[in-house]
Amino acid sequence: MSIALVAKEAFSMSKKDRLKDIIIEKSLKRGDFTLASGAKSTYLFDLKTTMLDPEGANLIGHLVLDKLGSDIDAIGGLELGACPAVSNACVISYQIGRPLKTFYVRKEKKGRGTDQLIEGCSLKKGDKVVILDDVTTKGGSVKEAIKAVQNVGCEVIKVLSIVDRNEGAKANLAEDGIALDYIFSKDELLGE
């Protein structure tokens, strides 16, 4: 498909509808999978293929920013899943004149260089932060990022997931007083 045709097609649909098509085409896998939570599944959302696609990256950046609200100081997430989406949002935030601080939370310190757990912007005590995740299932992985930014005195406003699998993340995060927002639920993408 030519670039002009892709651009024309994308222009005629909403950003969310177009992103849905891209995720279904490039990132929805069928088979037997083990998830980060340890659960088994017959489908998987491998969002890296969408987050690293030029059109998908652009759409994710815009849709993430649409979901943030105006009182956010920074957005970040756990490596590796959130890295492309955080970068996409960073670039788009600058382009629209609302630059946000962005960061990544390592799973563990490297033990060399600056030996930081949080890489990117310098978070300050009191910063209002949104934690971004590519796919939430139970919420266990994203809790690592929440804890890291809370440990430097930031206020986590919410977790924003590109896709929520509706398998307990919302309830698990609510136990810690953190709201979960998402761009898509699994039902929207699976047609259930």
Q: Of 70, 71, 179, 172, give the one whose Cα is nearest residue 131.
A: 179
**Residue 56 pLDDT:** 96
pTM of the model: 0.88
- CA-based nearest residue to 88, from 57, 120, 112: 57
pLDDT confidence of residue 109 = 58
pLDDT of residue 7: 53
DSSP lists the bridge partners of residue 28 as 45
Is residue 72 within 8 A of residue 132, CB to CB? The reply is no
Q: Return averaged pLDDT per consecutive 10 residues of the chain, 192 residues in all.
A: 52 86 96 87 94 96 91 91 92 93 81 68 92 93 92 95 95 96 95 74
Bond prior to 80 in cis (omega within 30° of 0): yes
pLDDT value of position 168: 93
pLDDT given for residue 90 in this prediction? 94
Alpha-carbon distance 33 to 19, whole Å?
23
